[in-house]
């Protein structure tokens, strides 16, 4: 399955495992890379020394390419970038910040740079910054998201119309059929997040994984746009946020309610009431916890079957 994305990352299938905070440690990333796709370590939930440890363990667990996802809104960004270079990682996905800040610096050191965007405007800015590819993420996605609530189905062809660099689709993609649909719309590959949360190798707490596979349509909601838009499972913390909105809160009041380490409490430690439980809308279609290799195999097989069916039509 050779195309722009497989050639860019030297992988077998044009699929990227998203670098999600508190979910994407070295076990998930190495299992993804060993399955023929690109695994990403999520640096957003790691102190620099912890990131270094995960990179070193990932290098021992796979001889395939893997990368690091770096949300640029987090502190210690310079330490993180230096560690990536020191450890010889050759692929970086940046998000939540200006791609001009780090793209030239990373590329000068032989690193392929991909930036995550939620709109045509930001896709063009990323292309102008010189990135090697962009991930265009619809608002169906979990975690931090765009404020415009543009769906993947609408976003991908609009971005494709305006850019000439490789395009990776994200948001609401957990199956081979969804992968085919976004590639028909113009994507060169896909980034999958939520489906890999419910994998055996994910570093998410088992209680959170169970919530994901129990989720149904309508169990998630995009909120906290004033801070950084995030899609949450509707638990007690989510309801506390909604109750606070009734009083037209200030940004400071929202920050006070959010506090610190709320996502860690929910996704990593398994506090299903007070924790921040980030997941995509596609959770309603995820019904089991499987090894990464099996998830990848099923996505690829379904993609091929759906492609053959479309060719037949």
pLDDT tens for each residue of 262-304: 999 999 999 999 999 999 999 999 999 999 999 999 999 999 9
Specify the pLDDT at position 296. 98
The answer, yes or no, to whether residue 234 has pLDDT greater than 70, is yes
Q: Looking at residues 16-27, what average pLDDT do you find?
A: 95
Specify the pLDDT at position 313. 59
Phi, psi of 154 (to 5 degrees): -85, -35
Q: Looking at residues 126-155, what average pLDDT do you find?
A: 92
Specify the pLDDT at position 260. 86
Residues of 227-266 as b/e, b for ≥16 C-beta within 10 angstroms?
eebbbbbbbebbeebeeeeeeebeeeebeeebeeebbbbb
User: How much of the chain, in percent, has pLDDT values that exceed 70?
Assistant: 99
User: Which uninterrupted H or E stretch holds 31?
Assistant: helix 26-34
Question: What single-letter DSSP state applies at residue 224?
Answer: -
| Cα(90)–Cα(68) distance, integer angstroms | 9
Partners of 42 in the β-ladder? 69
| Cα(139)–Cα(151) distance, integer angstroms | 5
Only one residue has tokens 């990323």, namely 126
Q: What's the whole-model pTM score?
A: 0.95
Q: How many CB atoms lie within 10 A of CB 284?
A: 19
pLDDT tens for each residue of 150-206: 999 999 999 999 999 999 999 999 999 999 999 999 999 999 999 999 999 999 999
| Cα(138)–Cα(295) distance, integer angstroms | 22
The answer, yes or no, to whether residue 143 has pLDDT greater than 80, is no
pLDDT tens for each residue of 249-262: 999 999 999 998 89
pLDDT tens for each residue of 69-103: 999 987 889 999 999 999 999 999 999 889 999 99
Q: Looking at residues 14-42, what average pLDDT do you find?
A: 97
Q: Is the dihedral of CA 226, 227, 232, 236 positive or negative?
A: negative
The answer, yes or no, to whether residue 126 has pLDDT greater than 80, is yes
* Structure-model confidence comparison of residues 5 and 2, the more confident one: 5
Average pLDDT, the chain: 95
| Cα(95)–Cα(115) distance, integer angstroms | 6
Specify the pLDDT at position 147. 81
Specify the pLDDT at position 263. 93
Specify the pLDDT at position 312. 67
Q: Quick check: 77 and 94 in contact, CB under 8 A? A: no
Specify the pLDDT at position 310. 85
């Amino acid at each position: 399955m050779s195309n722009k994305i497989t050639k860019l990352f030297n992988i077998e299938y044009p699929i990227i495992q998203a670098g999600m905070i508190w979910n994407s440690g070295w076990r998930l990333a190495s299992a993804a890379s060993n399955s023929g796709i690109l695994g990403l370590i999520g640096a957003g939930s790691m102190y620099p020394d912890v990131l270094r440890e995960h990179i070193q363990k990932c290098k021992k667990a796979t001889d395939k390419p893997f990368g690091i996802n770096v949300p640029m809104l987090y502190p210690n960004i310079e330490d993180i970038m230096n560690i990536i270079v020191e450890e010889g990682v050759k692929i970086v996905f940046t998000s939540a910040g200006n791609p001009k800040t780090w793209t030239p610096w990373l590329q000068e050191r032989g690193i392929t740079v991909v930036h995550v965007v939620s709109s045509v405007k930001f896709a063009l800015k990323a292309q102008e910054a010189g990135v090697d590819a962009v991930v265009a993420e619809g608002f169906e996605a979990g975690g931090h998201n765009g404020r415009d609530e543009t769906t993947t189905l609408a976003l991908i062809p609009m971005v494709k119309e305006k850019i000439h660099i490789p395009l990776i689709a994200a948001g609401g993609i957990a199956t081979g059929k969804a992968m085919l649909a976004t590639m028909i719309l113009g994507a060169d590959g896909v980034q999958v997040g939520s489906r890999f949360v419910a994998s055996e190798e994910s570093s998410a707490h088992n209680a959170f994984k169970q919530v994901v596979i129990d989720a149904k349509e309508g169990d998630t909601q995009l909120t906290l746009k004033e801070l950084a838009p995030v899609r949450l499972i509707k638990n007690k913390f989510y309801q506390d946020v909604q109750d606070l909105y009734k009083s037209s809160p200030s940004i400071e009041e929202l920050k006070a309610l959010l506090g610190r380490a709320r996502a860690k409490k929910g996704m990593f430690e398994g506090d299903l009431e007070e924790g921040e439980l980030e997941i995509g809308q596609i959770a309603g279609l995820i019904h089991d916890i499987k090894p990464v290799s099996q998830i990848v195999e099923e996505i690829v097989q379904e993609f091929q079957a759906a492609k053959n069916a479309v060719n037949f039509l």
